[in-house]
Amino acid sequence: MSTEFEQVRSKRLAQLRSAMARAGIDAFVVPSSDPHLSEYLPGHWKGREWLSGFTGSVGTFIATANFAGVWTDGRYWTQAETELAGSEIALMKIPGAASQMHVDWLAANLAAGQTVAVDARVLGLAGARLLSDALSAKGIALRTDIDLLYEVWQDRPALPADPVFEHLPPYATMSRADKLAATRAAMEQHGAGFHVISTLDDIAYLFNLRGADVSFNPVFLAHALIGRADATLFVGEGKVPAEVRARLESDGVHLAPYANAATALSALPDGATLLLDPRRVTAGMRAAVAQGVNVVEAINPTTFAKSRKLDSEAVNVRAAMEQDGAALCEFFSWLEAELANGARAPLDEVAIDTHITAARARRPNFISPSFSTIAGFNSNGAIMHYRAAQETCATIEGDALLLIDSGGQYLGGTTDITRVIPVGTPSEAQKRDYTLVLKGLINLSATRFPRGTRSPMLDAIARAPIWAAGIDYGHGTGHGVGYFLNVHEGPQTISPAVPPDPHTAMEPGMITSIEPGIYRPGRWGIRIENLVLNRVVDNTEFGEYLGFETLTLCPIDTRPLDRSLLREDEIAWLNAYHATVRARLEPIVAGAARDWLIERTEAI
């Protein structure tokens, strides 16, 4: 980081501490969060990044009078070390399964009678309870009614004002009216006449609306309050075009100003029953609920509903995957030609981002990338969530591995894929790592399991072949993926860090990533990622069994493989996958891209 930025960062921290002192706050906490508990945040809510300089998508900032730190997990350690270097801000490493570590730190390092502050408007209700319990047990006070950033952050970005648009048939395959009816049926099961939703993907799903308020996630800032007969969408004025507004009205959906959501909760009638999800609304929203209201806590019905893609949605996803795969054939054939010819201009990681997005943009129904492309060359590949920037990025030259993790938002689905290609001649050690990662991918891809299996319990199946070599990776094996929605969605997660609670159960129609990896800091990083669809593949006296249909269609480079490490059944899996990729993509690619497809899908 530059000296100039270092001075800015020091000054911000000093200003924050002055504000803390004035307000009588001993520790100030800034989570990576917004009023919708989003993963990707509008600039307005990137307070942790503004204060610390750490740009990773997950991390909690805490400052006291004589300490400042950012807590983050293994995916971000290398990045955070770089970004925090030169500052007084400590990197606090969260190992796999201990996401409450910063809470423990507060409880251990503050004294009874001191005060912790965090803004209730961006603090999840479930997290707020853990924090409150831990602090009150030590006699530490918690204030959630104060936003110190308001005082110190002068040039804070405004809330985004992008327009909202409808997700229409044939891509939206279930009507808004039907989704509202299904949600109300679930509300009835809880005896609830009202249901408040703050999570942006739940809202986008339920109303068949999309937006562009957040990078990569096609969502818009809103809260929703569903009643038995009508519903209110709290959204920035002017964002919803008149014709969409009219269509919403005809489905009994009224618009109200974005800022009025909390007020509406405080105006609910005495004796009403309100359903809310403590992990998906903020402490601030919960506090707004009128006293006489009976609150029922349960996971949002839409969170389950949107995770289980309809057959009609799966048809669209398969078509989107074909277009995505075709775009990748064009991109990779171009990239390899550039590398083989000795690129005219030096080819760097940023150029890869540009070209891969351009290839996708030539395909029908493409909207945007689904996340920031990760193109990591050699040691940059070991930075798990590396994002190439013009000033720091590596030039692709010499013998190495190039990791490319990218994805697209299409009207008919969301993609997310990681491939690694060799540049020059990979070493034997690189080939071994690459082959082990592929074994992990195959081992889980080929697994069948009882319907209802808790998704975290499947994690070890992908790791086992990698563990066998004394290697592990510091992230989960897979995350849920939305349907033209967030590239990370729940409720299923294939990760040892997630408690295998009932809501993590695997159900038909879910789309999940499988993405094992091996990262050797300072040397290279390897990850291979496909998206898979849960399908019922067997029905026996022991119940229904699910298997994975691999949705992602793109060759897995066979050149860095050490074939001697593969079993016959693994080779058969890979060859069958490549036969499918070739059959599905060949009709929609041409020229050099087609030649590349044929070559890269040869059986081994």
Is 453 among the residues that bind a second copy (CB under 8 A)? yes
- From candidates 447, 503, 562, 575, binder to a second copy by CB under 8 A: 447
Stretch that binds a second copy, among 166-174, 357-365, 466-474, 595-603 (CB under 8 A): 466-474
Measure the CA–CA gap between 75 and 307, rounded to whole angstroms: 25
Report d(CA 378, CA 398) in Å as an integer: 10
Q: Which is nearer to a second copy, 250 or 539 (CB)?
A: 539
Of 257-265, 397-405, 524-532, 536-544, the window that binds a second copy (rule: CB under 8 A) is 536-544
Q: Which residues contact 291 (CB under 8 A, 6 or more apart)?
A: none
Residue 155 binds to a second copy (criterion: CB under 8 A): no
Does 477 help bind a second copy (rule: CB under 8 A)? no
Cα–Cα dist 219/488, whole Å: 13
- Closest CB to a second copy among residues 334, 467: 467
Asked if 227 is part of the footprint of a second copy (rule: CB under 8 A), the reply reads: no
Binding a second copy (rule: CB under 8 A), the pick from 143, 308, 520, 584 is: 520
CA distance 378 to 422: 10
CA dihedral 346, 350, 352, 356 (to 10 degrees): -150
For residue 491, whether the previous peptide bond is cis, meaning omega lies within 30 degrees of 0, is yes
Pair of tokens at residue 457: 């319990």
Strand pairing class (524-527; 517-520)? antiparallel
The position carrying tokens 């009874």 is: 112
The beta-strand segments (E) located in 169-328 are 194-197, 209-210, 222-226, 231-235, 253-256, 273-276, 294-297
Site string for a second copy, 79-108 (x = CB under 8 A): ------------------x-----------
Pairing of β 408-410 and β 530-540: unpaired
Q: Of 254, 539, 559, 604, which one interacts with a second copy (CB under 8 A)?
A: 539
The side-by-side arrangement of strands in the sheet containing 366-369 is 366-369, 408-410, 413-414
Choose one: 130-138, 161-169, 462-470, 525-533; the region binding a second copy (CB under 8 A).
Answer: 462-470
Name residues contacting a second copy, limited to 564-603 (CB under 8 A): 567, 569
Among the listed ranges 219-227, 362-370, 494-502, 585-593, the one in contact with a second copy (CB under 8 A) is: 494-502
Least separation in angstroms between residue 459's CB and a second copy is 6
| Whole-number Å distance between alpha carbons of 123 and 128 | 6
Positions in 541-560 near a second copy (CB under 8 A): 541-543, 545
Q: Does 383 bind a second copy (CB under 8 A)?
A: no
Is 472 one of the binding residues for a second copy (CB under 8 A)? yes
d(CA 53, CA 4) in angstroms, rounded, equals: 13
| Residues whose CB falls within 8 Å of the CB of residue 231, separated by 6 or more in sequence, listed in order | 180, 224, 225, 252, 253, 254
252 touching a second copy, by CB under 8 A: no
Q: How far is C-alpha 505 from the geometric centre of its chain's CA atoms? A: 19
**Which residues are CB-neighbours of 377 under 8 A, at least 6 positions away?**
349, 394, 395, 396, 400, 401, 402, 403, 423
Minimum distance of a second copy from residue 22's CB (angstroms): 37
Number of CB atoms found within 10 A of residue 312's CB: 13
Q: Which of 86, 160, 252, 496 binds a second copy (CB under 8 A)?
A: 496
* Binding footprint of a second copy, residue count (CB under 8 A): 34
Interface with a second copy, residue 247, by CB under 8 A: no
Stretch that binds a second copy, among 102-110, 206-214, 534-542, 587-595 (CB under 8 A): 534-542
CB of 461 to a second copy, least distance (A): 6
**For a second copy, the closer CB: 400 or 458:** 458
Q: Is 449 in the site for a second copy (CB under 8 A)?
A: yes
Let me know: does 390 contact 350? Beta carbons within 8 Å. yes
Which of these ranges, 298-306, 433-441, 533-541, 579-587, lies near a second copy under the rule CB under 8 A? 533-541
Q: Is 310 in the site for a second copy (CB under 8 A)?
A: no
Query: CB 521 → a second copy: shortest distance, Å?
Result: 9
Beta strand 273-276 pairing with 294-297: parallel
According to the binding rule CB under 8 A, does residue 479 interact with a second copy? no
Q: How far is the CB of 539 from a second copy (least distance, A)?
A: 8
Binding of residue 74 to a second copy (CB under 8 A): no
Q: Which two tokens stand for residue 314?
A: 């799966």
Neighbouring-strand partners of residue 67: 64
Residue 543, SS3 per DSSP: strand
Listed ranges 164-172, 215-223, 287-295, 469-477: which one lies at the site for a second copy (CB under 8 A): 469-477
Q: How far is the CB of 470 from a second copy (least distance, A)?
A: 4
CB contact at 8 A, 14 and 91: no
Which residue among 134, 458, 526, 574 contacts a second copy (CB under 8 A)? 458
Q: Should residue 499 be labelled a site residue for a second copy when binding is judged by CB under 8 A? A: yes
Nearest alpha-carbon partner for 162 in 75, 67, 240: 240
Q: Nearest distance from residue 449's CB to a second copy, in Å?
A: 5
**Residue closer to a second copy (CB basis): 227 or 500:** 500
For residues 97 and 358, which CB has a smaller minimum distance to a second copy in the complex?
A: 97
> Binding mask 407-446 vs a second copy (x if CB under 8 A, - otherwise)?
----------------------------------------
Torsion of CA 274, 279, 281, 285, to 10 degrees: 80
Kindly tell me which residue out of 237, 538, 599, 602 binds a second copy, with binding defined by CB under 8 A: 538
Which H helix or E strand runs over 409?
Answer: strand 408-410
Of 12 and 523, the one with the shorter C-beta distance to a second copy is: 523
Q: Is 362 in the site for a second copy (CB under 8 A)?
A: no
In angstroms, rounded to a whole number, what is the distance separating the alpha carbons of residues 430 and 560?
8
Could you check whether the bond before residue 369 is cis, i.e. omega within 30 degrees of 0? no
Q: Is 278 in the site for a second copy (CB under 8 A)?
A: no
Which positions touch a second copy (CB under 8 A)? 97, 447-450, 453-454, 456-461, 463-464, 467-468, 470-472, 496, 499-500, 502, 520, 538-543, 545, 567, 569
